[in-house]
Amino acid sequence: MSNVYVAIMAGGIGSRFWPKSRTAKPKQFLDILDTGKTLIQLTYERFLKVVPKENIYVVTNTQYASLVKEQLPDLTDSQILKEPVRRNTAPCITYACDKIYAKDKSATVIVTPSDQLILQEDKFTDVLSRCIQFVSNSNYLVTIGIKPTKPATGYGYIQFVDDPTPDGFQRVKTFTEKPTAEIARTFIKSGDFLWNSGMFVWKAKTLLQAIVKNLPEVAEAFREGNKHYDTPGEARFVQEAYSQCTNISIDYGVMEKADNVYTVPAQFGWSDIGSWDSLYEVYEHDYLGNAVAGKNVKIYDSAHNMVMVPDDKLVVLQGLDGYCVIDTGDVLLICTKEKEQEIKEITVDLKVADLDEFL
Write the pLDDT tens digit of every residue in 21-40: 999 999 999 999 989 999 99
pLDDT number for residue 20: 94
Rounded to an integer, what distance in angstroms lies between the CA atom of residue 358 and that of residue 16?
14
Mean pLDDT on 57-62: 98
Tell me: do 262 and 282 sit in the same domain. Answer: no
Nearest to 118 by CA among 33, 179, 9: 33
- Are the beta carbons of 227 and 133 closer than 8 angstroms? no
Q: What is the CATH number of the domain that holds 114?
A: 3.90.550.10
User: Are 164 and 241 part of one and the same domain?
Assistant: yes
Backbone phi, then psi, for 92, in 5-degree steps? Answer: -60, -50
Query: Are residues 224 and 205 part of one domain?
Result: yes
pLDDT band at 16 (very low <50, low <70, confident <90, very high): confident
pLDDT(137) > 90? no
213 in the same domain as 98:
yes
Position 82 scores a pLDDT of 98
* Domain match, 202 and 346 both: no
Residue 1 has pLDDT above 80, yes or no: no
Of 258, 274, 290, which residue is a domain's last? 274
* Domain end position, chosen among 247, 274, 301: 274
Q: Convert the pLDDT of each residue in 275-329 to its tens digit.
A: 898 899 999 999 999 999 999 999 999 999 999 999 999 999 999 999 999 999 9
Task: Identify how many contiguous H helices and E strands the chain contains and give both numbers.
Answer: 11, 17
Beta strands per DSSP E along 190-236: 193-203
37 contacts 68 by C-beta, under 8 angstroms: no
Residues 156 and 290 in one domain: no
Residue 180's contacts (CB-CB under 8 Å, 6 or more residues apart) are 153
Length of the chain: 359
Q: Are residues 234 and 336 in the same domain?
A: no
Domain that holds residue 165: 4-274
Between CA 230 and CA 228 the distance in angstroms is 6
Q: How many CB atoms lie within 10 A of CB 46?
A: 18
Q: ω into residue 19 within 30 of 0, thus cis?
A: yes
pLDDT classification of 205: cutoffs 50, 70, 90: very high
